Amino acid sequence: MASKILKERYVIQKQLSKNAGRRTLLARDLHTQELVAIKLLIFGEDFHWDNLKLFEREAQTLQLLSHPAIPRYLDHFDVDTPTGKGFALVQSYIPAKSLEEWLKGGRTFSEAEIKQLAKALLEILRYLHGQQPQVIHRDIKPSNILLANRSGNSVGDVYLVDFGSVQTLAARKGSTITVVGTYGYMPPEQFGGRNIPASDIYSLGATLIYLATGRHPAELSQDNVQIQFESIVNLNPDLIDWLKWMTQPSLNRRLASAGEALKALENPRQQTDISAIRQKPFGSRIELKEDGENLEILIPRERLTFWRACQMLVFTLPCLGLVLLPFISIILVIQGGLQFINSFVMLFSFITLTLGGINFAILWLSSTLYLRATKINIARNQISVTHLWPWYKCQVAPIMNKNFSKWSMYIRHSMAISRPEKYYKTLGLYDLTPPEIEWLANEISAFSGGKITVVSADNKYVKEYVKIPTAK
């Protein structure tokens, strides 16, 4: 397509990229003699209507934006090519290499350069998220970030390009959500079609982790969907904590805005210490799994200790005695050894057998508590509980939060979660150890964004846990 003229104005110089029905061309504007970038969307075999929707949204969004680090909208028009009809979007051309190209060329980035990049990109995001309606990029990654004029200790000029996945608040209302993005850089909520400013924060954090490690985020190990990278980098602990904060899977744990992220980066001593979220107590067998949308708590069955076994044996022997005594008496009566009190023995046998059966049933039911595990799933609008016995699984019907009405549910023994109004309010955990109680209260509070109040069994001890605050 070189040397072809579009709209009798744009002379094609070369093709810059091509993928899935899209092409990006370098052209010269005959009116201004400037180089421009032209995106073409062709109605070919690999055309999808979602692509057209995103293409039109990109054009509309760029017309409303004016920032030196974002390509300028210049023009758009219909095109007719040998491969089919389509649309063209003309933007200002930025002669710079992408971070992806720099990395593939063997370039490494120092900690100072990573911070410079982070600040520059956060300023761009602060501009985008500050628009009315908010503009969410949805595809921040190394190939969509350009660097120009790198020199000395300066990372150079930073640009954010490719708004083909952009979404605005206005676009979300009353329309079908199109899930777009790049695996490894997408936060958990984006897979479900939910996108907010914090989603771009996650993608930026994953991009910076790629710069620090030289490895694609999808290649790094994960723990509860949290990217694990600290063991393979040589960075300041404050920066590591900040990157982990940026890439928290849970929205309630993650930095909520570009402004918060900038302040936390520039004032590390004032940023929330995410390590303050208590680590799992040593020896605890409780398991937590979180994917950003759900928090699953698995409380395993209790271990049968020596002293508990002795305790059960002490209670079991009398029960066995009550059960065996009537049988012995009946045998003696049958053999004629107790004929003189036949009626009395039969009545005594009936009473003791009944009491023994009742006591044994109570003992057996109480012992099953030690054999039961409990799985609790906390979502945005409900809690569901499943009791797990070795021979039976019992699921408690999920309790929905309809109109924020008050509800409560006992989960295990004296453990209860109740939720008046909007947030999880009270968490009474009486059969767990104090460190486990505090750990779970912090975890649930951080996930839900609400306040958790732990009350002792006698209602004399009260302690509140709130979501760890973010920098304002």
Catalytic hit among 139, 162, 200, 241? 139
* 3-state SS, residue 452: strand
Instruction: Give bridge partners of residue 452 from the DSSP assignment.
Output: 465
In this structure, the number of other CB atoms found within 10 A of the CB of residue 60 comes to 15
Q: Which residues does 160 contact at the CB level (< 8 Å), separation at least 6?
A: 69, 70, 121, 124, 137, 140, 144, 145, 146
Taking the C-alpha atoms of residue 159 and residue 286, their distance in angstroms, rounded to an integer, is 46
Exposure of 441 by Cβ count < 10 A (0-12 exposed, 13-18 middle, 19+ buried)?
A: buried
Handedness of CA 50, 52, 58, 63 (dihedral sign): negative
Q: Which residues does 79 contact at the CB level (< 8 Å), separation at least 6?
A: 6, 7, 40, 42, 85, 86, 87, 88
Confirm whether 29 is a catalytic residue: no
Report CA-CA distances (Å) from 346 to 307, 343, 351.
Answer: 37, 5, 9
With beta carbons less than 8 A apart as the criterion, state whether 109 and 198 touch: no
With beta carbons less than 8 A apart as the criterion, state whether 187 and 249 touch: yes
Backbone φ and ψ for 440, nearest 5 degrees, come out as -65, -40
Task: Please measure the distance between the N-terminal and C-terminal CA atoms of the chain and give it in whole angstroms.
Answer: 52
Structure tokens at 150: 């790198």
In this structure, the number of other CB atoms found within 10 A of the CB of residue 124 comes to 22
Report CA-CA distances (Å) from 5 to 9, 14, 46, 331, 417.
Answer: 6, 12, 25, 111, 68
Which amino acid belongs to residue 244? K
Q: Which residues does 121 contact at the CB level (< 8 Å), separation at least 6?
A: 140, 145, 158, 160, 204
Backbone φ and ψ for 376, nearest 5 degrees, come out as -115, 125
Residues designated as active site: 139
